[in-house]
Structure 1
Amino acid sequence: MTGPAPTGPAARADTLLQSFAEAGYARAEPAILQPAEPFLDLSGEDIRKSLYLTTDGGGEELCLRPDLTIPVARDYLASPRSGQPAGFSYLGPVFRYRDGRPSEFLQAGIESFGRQDRPAADAEMLALAIEATAAAGLSEVEIHTGDVALFAALIDALDLYPVWRRRLLKDFNRKRTLAQDLERLAIAELAPRNEYEGVLAALAGSDRKAALALVTDLMSIAGASAVGGRTVAEIADRFLEQSTLKSGALPRHALDLIKRFLVIAGTPTEAVQQLRALAADARLDIAAAIDALEARAGFMAQRGIDLTKVRFATAFGRGLDYYTGFEFELHHPGNGDEPLVAGGRYDGLLSQLGAASSIPAVGFSIWIERLAQSSAASHSPRGRAS
């Protein structure tokens, strides 16, 4: 005789992985102990406070994996399939300090590498994510989507100084920082000019390499040396960035267009219409990014996704530095800011991990406990009544 089938979140996740395998996503099982550097470099220094860190005998900083995207990507790059289209699914524990909540929890998901048909691959990820929530018994989820590539296209079209491009793209993944920067810039234009602002503006508008060489030389002449572990060149680079930011280099028309862009929201179809209207009115060359959004929406519809239930917002971002395009989250209605499933496109990550050439990549993660809790709540008498 056989005993009863296992139940619980892990068993449900195993069933989910079986469906992913049937869809062509092989099981990946990366090591739990990982080099810490990729997480710190690619996810942002903010993640350090949640990592469980240690050091090996050679002095290398290691960590318990805080997620599975980077470990799966590293294993893929080390495999014979590196550079070729390949899809992986996973289920396993991840480790993060979460202030009073369990630091070890289960995560499942999918990573897809090497597909050149980006809009179709994006749509497939969202469709599989929705299927995962449906398999858990959740018939209704809130679908939030965005696209950092659209924001990057806007910044490129505004032809800003490189330092502003870097700053604003970094801010985009940290919503509070972006809002604060835009507000500060609006106030800064009203502030009195200082006696050296003309010099700062000249530095901001000059060739970056030439300006960096000038500041480095001036610091060397003044006898500056390494401070706090930074070289003279690194200090000069930081000074140049700060001088550009303080010079009021972000023009008023750029500030206004960024604010107009960030309020666009609606269904993907509505967002495309609003974006095309803004581009035409402001004469912005962002047609390729809008076309990609429209193509993705078409593939979503082909996958059976009801576009009227998909919310797209130009201001939506997931807070991770390595995302380069489509981003999404699925939420249980009324569940606050914690997603059940979240993911997106990260085409630059594999190059940053050492790939010799760019490899397209997209995927998502599932928080198994959240999914199980939401499923239980929706099937309870109170949940059904609500």
Structure 2
Amino acid sequence: MTLTAAPRATGSAAWADALLLSFAQAGYIQAEPAILQPAEPFLDLSGEDIRKSLYLTTDASGEELCLRPDLTIPVARDYLASSRAGQPAGFSYLGPVFRYRGGRPSEFLQAGIESFGRQDRAAADAEMLALALEATAAFGLTEVEIRTGDVALFIALIDALDLYPVWRRRLIKDFNRKTSLAQDLERLTLATGPGHNEYEGVLAALAGSDRKAALALVTDLMSIAGATNVGGRSVSEIADRFLEQSTLKGGALPRDALELIKRFLAISGDPDDAIVRLRALAADARLDISAAIDQFESRVGFMAARGIDTGLTRFSTSFGRGLDYYTGFEFELQRKGNGVEPLVAGGRYDGLMTQLGAPTPIPAVGFSVWIESLTQAGRQPAASGSSRSAS
């Protein structure tokens, strides 16, 4: 498979054709990744929970393969295998993806854009949102709700709080899983109260140590005790789980850190107002998160320069898309007044390329378009109210 112009999808709607044309005019080369993909990158990078929705098979060598459940990882893998790897490059796509979705069809069309290698991150982020809004307009939908967030702000907060390594890893992992994060924060609120156990000091020592060393110690202790595979999990997997759960039980997160995290996650609304509140929080708590806030503010400026009415976007510090590989800006576009599911969604994933084997980090940002949902929404009467897209 090569990253060259691909034939237009057979039977695609005129709106989808217009969408691909707009992507090409914006300078994005159409790619067509292979339908059958290695399963490991999806399981490693999207979380093990995706396994239940994948269509899996195994080749003669024993490698686990799957029908592609989305196109971001396949396009990224092909880019890294091409001669343009490491250089700025942009690709568009339109094709079927395969994912179990309950009572809905498991095969459906997905379009989108992936942009690699651009160092002007704030401008690239704004361009993605502007092109995503153009995508909805191509389907006759001009009134949409824009939801945005930025996981880089949360990561900056956690780093500035200087938490135990295990807690840093746990909270960042949980950020895109709102139920898990809320449960952890609630447990921690209870754990920091009275009634600590007699081995709290041991748990705190494990939590405060280097994760690799702590994991090795717990693994060795379990091996000495004669533990083997339990429930299909290896000793190292069980030790890893124990390390996280023991830290949770030990109540290692200070109450002032808990309050700051909760205060941070409560910030939402107009992006400009959010910037003011974030700077106030950083100043009050003497937290060094100015670089992340500056990047957020720069992005908002580039969005306005592209004709996006930022005052009508809904920003939230707690907004996340449920994928482990996002590292910064995230967004969703929903039909105004009927936003059950996103029509277009995407964000920044700077860490993905090294996880896929790149020797050095490569900036990356993109979005996906759900063709059937957008086609259906474009045929429905517009909801009352107003929302601005890119001009």
Shorter-chain TM band: over 0.9
Task: Describe the shift of the 1:198–1:139 C-alpha distance in structure 2 as closer, same or farther (beyond 3 A).
Answer: same
Say whether residues 1:158 and 2:161 are aligned partners. Answer: yes
Task: Describe the shift of the 1:251–1:15 C-alpha distance in structure 2 as closer, same or farther (beyond 3 A).
Answer: same
User: Contact 2:144–2:333 at 8 Å: present in 1 too?
Assistant: yes
CA distance in 1, matches of 2:28, 2:194: 56
User: Contact 1:85–1:113 at 8 Å: present in 2 too?
Assistant: yes
User: Contact 2:149–2:329 at 8 Å: present in 1 too?
Assistant: yes
What SS class does the counterpart of residue 332 from structure 2 fall into? strand
What is the match of residue 375 of structure 1? 378
CA distance in 1, matches of 2:214, 2:10: 64
What is the match of residue 72 of structure 1? 75
Q: 1:335-369, CA deviations, whole angstroms, 9 ceiling, x for partnerless residues?
A: 23300100000001111111111000000000011
TM-score (norm 2): 0.92
Q: Which amino acid aligns with 1:171?
A: D
Task: Describe the shift of the 1:251–1:221 C-alpha distance in structure 2 as closer, same or farther (beyond 3 A).
Answer: same
Q: Which amino acid aligns with 1:252?
A: R
Say whether residues 1:140 and 2:143 are aligned partners. Answer: yes
Residue 200 of structure 1 and its aligned partner are, at CA, apart by: 1.6
Instruction: Pick from 273, 276, 281 the counterpart of residue 278 of structure 1.
Output: 281
Residue 184 of structure 1 and its aligned partner are, at CA, apart by: 1.4
What is the match of residue 309 of structure 1? 312
What is the match of residue 99 of structure 1? 102
User: Contact 1:56–1:62 at 8 Å: present in 2 too?
Assistant: yes
What SS class does the counterpart of residue 380 from structure 2 fall into? helix
Residue 206 of structure 1 and its aligned partner are, at CA, apart by: 3.4
Residue 25 of structure 1 and its aligned partner are, at CA, apart by: 0.0
What is the match of residue 389 of structure 2? none
Q: 1:157-191, CA deviations, whole angstroms, 9 ceiling, x for partnerless residues?
A: 00001110111011110011111111111122235
Moved more, 258-267 or 203-212: 203-212
Residue 311 of structure 1 and its aligned partner are, at CA, apart by: 1.3
What SS class does the counterpart of residue 37 from structure 2 fall into? strand
Instruction: Pick from 258, 263, 276 the counterpart of residue 261 of structure 2.
Output: 258
Q: Which amino acid aligns with 1:89?
A: S
What SS class does the counterpart of residue 346 from structure 2 fall into? strand
Q: Which amino acid aligns with 2:286?
A: R
Q: Which amino acid aligns with 2:200?
A: E
User: Contact 1:88–1:112 at 8 Å: present in 2 too?
Assistant: yes
CA distance in 2, matches of 1:294, 1:329: 19
CA distance in 1, matches of 2:211, 2:238: 15
**Gap regions ≥5 residues in structure 2:** 1-8, 387-391
Task: Describe the shift of the 1:181–1:385 C-alpha distance in structure 2 as closer, same or farther (beyond 3 A).
Answer: closer
Residue 152 of structure 1 and its aligned partner are, at CA, apart by: 0.2
What is the match of residue 298 of structure 2? 295
Q: Which amino acid aligns with 1:306?
A: D
User: Contact 2:125–2:299 at 8 Å: present in 1 too?
Assistant: yes
CA distance in 2, matches of 1:245, 1:323: 24
CA distance in 1, matches of 2:51, 2:239: 26
Residue 222 of structure 1 and its aligned partner are, at CA, apart by: 3.6
What is the match of residue 39 of structure 2? 36
Residue 154 of structure 1 and its aligned partner are, at CA, apart by: 0.2
CA distance in 2, matches of 1:43, 1:214: 29
Say whether residues 1:184 and 2:184 are aligned partners. Answer: no
What is the match of residue 321 of structure 2? 318
CA distance in 2, matches of 1:10, 1:93: 14
Task: Describe the shift of the 1:252–1:131 C-alpha distance in structure 2 as closer, same or farther (beyond 3 A).
Answer: same
What is the match of residue 128 of structure 1? 131
Residue 378 of structure 1 and its aligned partner are, at CA, apart by: 2.3
Instruction: Pick from 41, 50, 55 the counterpart of residue 52 of structure 1.
Output: 55
Q: Which amino acid aligns with 2:284?
A: D
Say whether residues 1:238 and 2:259 are aligned partners. Answer: no
Q: Which amino acid aligns with 2:32?
A: E
Residue 371 of structure 1 and its aligned partner are, at CA, apart by: 0.7
Residue 34 of structure 1 and its aligned partner are, at CA, apart by: 0.7
User: Contact 1:9–1:372 at 8 Å: present in 2 too?
Assistant: no
Residue 55 of structure 1 and its aligned partner are, at CA, apart by: 1.1
User: Contact 1:138–1:378 at 8 Å: present in 2 too?
Assistant: no
User: Contact 2:167–2:207 at 8 Å: present in 1 too?
Assistant: no
What is the match of residue 18 of structure 1? 21
Identity %: 80
Residue 333 of structure 1 and its aligned partner are, at CA, apart by: 1.5
Q: Once superposed, what is the RMSD of the aligned Cα atoms?
A: 2.1
CA distance in 1, matches of 2:22, 2:301: 24
User: Contact 2:165–2:208 at 8 Å: present in 1 too?
Assistant: no
User: Contact 1:216–1:233 at 8 Å: present in 2 too?
Assistant: yes
Q: 1:206-251, CA deviations, whole angstroms, 9 ceiling, x for partnerless residues?
A: 3444444443444444444455565545544433333222111011
CA distance in 2, matches of 1:385, 1:311: 15
